[in-house]
């Protein structure tokens, strides 16, 4: 093995030298000819364009060019073909170039199975180059912007559990390809205890050969959930700025500079690269409209219209103030993130942490914004790879955020989940440390936050009561919403879901 490893580079170098010599001699010969046939050297399709050249000379040139093509392929496989042995594509080939929609000709049962497993077409992903380009959806003005030569470096953290290898590697290739190397200190992959074997040895070997010294892999020995997985990444990061991303993203040209620049100006800003969409079935990259990230009282996040002052300003490239974040893409000063209490490590599995960070950073003197000049495309998966009941954990985590940050407005969260405030039947754990953090940081009230950062949120001031309305004669039946196209309420077996929640103002 060791010998083979030494022989490979030697072989590659000698082929390169040989290729260079051939290329040099071909160039010299072409330049020596008076009738400008340099175009003829550019490809087989150009045959016959140079009318003055003789048939024989053309054929000879053709043969040399074909040999050169072949040599190029050999050299490419030797130097860059690390993806090939694991069945993937890198470099300029493959499907879906330029972010175009792609399809597989042979839709097999395996394709369906992988779709089910990952929530996207993983088989198709394997055929799309790890280095494919994607469209530049930045507003025009962003392309003329210039940035300080003294931007801080960034550590990019990707978290994953049971993700397709090609999708993870495309995230890595993409960030390396689109970030100036002087700014990218390292890439950190946090494996939240995946079951998938190809994410062990294959991933290790690939990144250590392809990006020696640049990519670190952290493996959790038990499943921690995406919240604590991100914290694992933060712990090993060494650059002054850290970016956190899902491991199913592709970066757009120039994404890093605006983000790093905004943080350099003010370290208390948490910046969110704007999100575009990678379609889960065709991997087409689609532009999303400019948006802020908001949420409802259940603390489920959603895209919302940017604030009125941003719309009035009419500058598409300007940062968009946002009350919270979707969570799949955010960049923060490493030390500042520690100072304000990271993400709540008492939150489990999934959900709520993204809203809580938004409330906390604003209430405690910082800010959060979406940057239209910094763009990342992201696959919205049709399913998440957590076996657990996501709804339960989202509810539990929402109650933690409500208890710590929302003062009197926490009743809105209980109401949204249709659970009583005393004895809610949900163990949200110990929040005393988070309450102490709020004290220590001397943070604003939730009312201040609503007034200044999220005025669009509708509040309910005079709620007398909320819950289910049961039929006293048949107590298993509750008042429920009727058919969607009908305004009439119906009686339906009680199920405790939101359609049966109602309140009396
Ligand atoms: Mn995601």
Range of the domain at 39: 2-80
Q: What angle do CA 391, 396, 399 make, to 5 degrees?
A: 125
218-244 burial, b for 16+ CB within 10 Å, e for fewer? Answer: bebeebbbbbbbbbbbbeebebbbbbb
| 68 CA to centre of ligand 1 in angstroms | 43
What is the 451 CA–ligand 1 centroid distance (Å)?
Answer: 30
Would residue 240 count as lying in a domain?
no
Ligand 1 centroid, distance to 118 Cα (angstroms): 11
CA of 121 to the centre of ligand 1 (A): 15
How far is the centre of ligand 1, averaged over its atoms, from the C-alpha of 380 (Å)? 6
Residue 15 included in any domain: yes
Looking at beta carbons, which pairs linking 343-346 to residues 24 or more positions away fall under 8 Å?
A: 343/227, 343/230, 343/231, 344/227, 344/397, 344/400, 344/401, 344/404, 344/434, 345/227, 345/228, 345/231, 346/400, 346/429, 346/430, 346/431, 346/433, 346/434
pLDDT in tens, 9-25: 555 555 555 555 555 55
- The CA 159 to ligand 1 mean position distance, Å, reads 10
- Sign of torsion over alpha carbons 16, 17, 21, 24: positive
Work out how many domains the chain is built from and give that number: 2
How many whole angstroms from 446 Cα to the centroid of ligand 1? 28
Rounded to the nearest angstrom, the distance between the alpha carbon of 392 and the centre of ligand 1 is 19
Residue corresponding to tokens 């409500």: 402
CA of 163 to the centre of ligand 1 (A): 11
Ligand 1 geometric centre to CA of 160 (Å): 9
Residue 166 maps to a domain: no
458 part of a folded domain = no
Q: What is the Å distance from ligand 1's center to 378 Cα?
A: 7
Q: What pLDDT was estimated at residue 488?
A: 78
Instruction: Please identify every stretch of the chain with a pLDDT value under 70, giving residue numbers as ranges.
Output: 1-53, 73-80, 387-388, 461-467, 496-505
Instruction: Output the CA 379–ligand 1 centroid distance in Å.
Output: 6
Q: How far is the CA of 278 from the centre of ligand 1 (A)?
A: 11
Q: How far is the CA of 441 from the centre of ligand 1 (A)?
A: 31
User: 95 C-alpha to center of ligand 1: Å?
Assistant: 22
> Which distant-in-sequence residues (6+ apart) come within 8 Å of 382 by Cβ?
115, 119, 120, 280
Question: Rounded to the nearest whole angstrom, what is the distance from the C-alpha of residue 427 to the centroid of ligand 1?
Answer: 27
Q: Which of 46, 80, 114 is the last residue of a domain?
A: 80
Q: What is the whole-number distance in angstroms between the Cα of residue 501 and the centre of ligand 1?
A: 30
Answer yes or no: is 39 within a domain.
Answer: yes
328 Cα–ligand 1 center, Å: 5
Is the Cα torsion angle 283, 284, 285, 288 positive or negative in sign? negative
**C-alpha of residue 246 to centroid of ligand 1, in Å:** 5
Nearest Cα to Cα of residue 344 among 403, 272, 413, 267? 403
CA of 25 to the centre of ligand 1 (A): 52
How close is the Cα of 249 to the center of ligand 1, in Å? 8
Q: Is residue 150, in this structure, part of any structural domain at all?
A: no
What is the predicted pLDDT for the residue at 73? 64
Residue ending a domain, choose from 40, 58, 80? 80
Is residue 452 included in any domain, yes or no? no
How far is the centre of ligand 1, averaged over its atoms, from the C-alpha of 353 (Å)? 14
Domain assignment present for residue 403? The answer is: no
How many Å lie between the centroid of ligand 1 and the Cα of residue 411? 29
The answer to whether residues 279 and 293 touch, using CB atoms and an 8 Å cutoff, is no
Give dist(CA 366, CA 270) in Å, integer. Answer: 8
Ligand 1 centroid, distance to 400 Cα (angstroms): 22
Distance from Cα 248 to the centre of ligand 1, integer Å: 6
Q: How many angstroms separate the CA atoms of 393 and 426, rounded?
A: 10
| Final residue before a domain boundary, out of 19, 54, 80 | 80
């Amino acid at each position: 093995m060791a010998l083979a490893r030494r022989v490979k580079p030697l072989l590659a170098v000698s082929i390169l030298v040989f290729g260079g010599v051939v290329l040099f001699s071909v160039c010299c010969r072409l330049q020596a000819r008076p009738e400008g046939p340099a175009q003829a050297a550019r490809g087989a399709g150009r045959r016959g364009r140079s009318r003055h050249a003789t048939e024989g000379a053309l054929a000879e040139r053709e043969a040399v060019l074909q040999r050169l093509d072949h040599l190029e392929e050999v050299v490419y496989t030797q130097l860059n073909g690390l993806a090939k042995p694991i069945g993937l594509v890198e470099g300029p080939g493959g499907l879906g170039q330029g972010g175009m929609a792609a399809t597989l000709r042979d839709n097999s049962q395996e394709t369906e199975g992988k779709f089910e497993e990952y929530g996207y077409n993983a088989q198709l992903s394997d055929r799309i180059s790890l280095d494919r380009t994607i469209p530049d959806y930045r507003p025009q003005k962003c392309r003329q912007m210039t940035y300080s030569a003294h931007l801080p470096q960034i550590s990019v953290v990707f978290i994953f559990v049971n993700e397709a290898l090609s999708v993870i590697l495309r995230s890595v290739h993409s960030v390396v390809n689109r970030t100036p190397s002087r700014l990218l200190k390292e890439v950190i992959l946090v494996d939240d205890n995946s079951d998938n074997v190809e994410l062990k040895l294959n991933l290790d070997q690939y990144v250590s050969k392809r990006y020696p010294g640049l990519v670190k892999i952290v493996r959790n020995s038990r499943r921690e959930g995406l919240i604590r997985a991100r914290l694992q990444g933060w712990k090993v990061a060494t650059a002054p700025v850290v970016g956190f991303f899902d491991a199913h993203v592709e970066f757009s040209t120039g994404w890093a500079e605006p983000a790093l620049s905004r943080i350099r100006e003010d370290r208390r800003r948490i910046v969110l690269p704007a999100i575009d969409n990678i379609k889960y079935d065709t991997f087409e990259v689609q532009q999303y409209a400019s948006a802020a990230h908001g949420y409802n009282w259940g603390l489920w996040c959603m895209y919302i219209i940017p604030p009125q002052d941003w719309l009035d300003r009419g500058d598409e490239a300007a940062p968009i103030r946002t009350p919270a974040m979707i969570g799949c893409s955010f960049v923060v000063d490493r030390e500042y993130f520690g100072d304000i209490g990271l993400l709540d490590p008492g939150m489990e599995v999934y959900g709520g942490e993204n809203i809580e960070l938004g409330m906390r950073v604003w209430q405690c003197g910082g800010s959060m914004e979406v940057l239209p000049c910094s763009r990342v495309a992201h696959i919205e998966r049709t399913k998440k790879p957590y076996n657990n009941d996501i709804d339960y954990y989202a509810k539990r985590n929402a109650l933690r955020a409500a208890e710590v940050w929302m003062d009197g407005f926490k009743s809105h969260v209980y109401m949204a989940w249709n659970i009583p405030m005393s004895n809610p039947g949900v163990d949200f754990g110990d929040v005393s440390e988070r309450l102490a953090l709020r004290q220590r940081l001397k943070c604003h009230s939730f009312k201040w936050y609503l007034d200044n950062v999220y005025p669009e949120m509708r509040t309910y001031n005079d709620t007398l009561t909320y819950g289910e309305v049961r039929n006293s004669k048949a107590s298993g039946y509750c008042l429920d919403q009727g058919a969607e196209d009908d305004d009439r309420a119906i009686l339906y077996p009680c199920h405790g879901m939101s359609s049966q929640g109602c309140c009396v103002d």
